[in-house]
Structure 1
Amino acid sequence: MSSGEKFPIGKLVRLKSGGPDMTVKSKTDSSGYLYTQWFAGKKLEQGHFQVDSLEEVKPKPEAE
């Protein structure tokens, strides 16, 4: 499965080791990395991570 199939642009992900929820911003070519972005307070941060180090963030059910 390619990185684009596993985590499409806009998908919420997190490092398997923990950390903030991040949004997939763009895909790289065949190098196995994804570019992500997240907010640290009010500051928008960006980074690129190997696909195998990421996991999908499951949406939390909304309280009624």
Structure 2
Amino acid sequence: MFKVGDIVLLSSGGPKMTVSDITDEEFILCQWFDTNMECHTKCFAAKCLIKYQAVEVPKVALW
């Protein structure tokens, strides 16, 4: 489901996090930076995470 390097979010919201390790299929180790640029690391249950999907905004000609 997840692989190292994936960008994920908690299903309840919060900052974008990077998957840094997969302990097993049930627990995922994630890292993220807070607003002070401090790095945090925490293990989350995989069922609480969703993959982040960036939305590409179409370019519009201004004239």
Q: TM-score, normalised by structure 2?
A: 0.82
Please state if 1:35 is matched with 2:29: yes
Deviations 1:9-64 (A, max 9, x none): 0000000011111000001035x100000000210011000000000100232665
- Please list every run of at least 4 consecutive aligned residues from structure 1 whose deviation after the TM superposition is greater than 4 angstroms: none
Structure with the higher helix share, 1 or 2:
1
Stretches of structure 1 that go unaligned for 5 or more consecutive residues are 1-5
Q: How many residues align?
A: 58
**Partner of 2:19 in structure 1?**
24
For residue 10 of structure 1, the aligned residue among 5, 8, 31 is 5
Question: Which structure has the greater CA radius of gyration?
Answer: 2
Identity across the alignment (%): 31
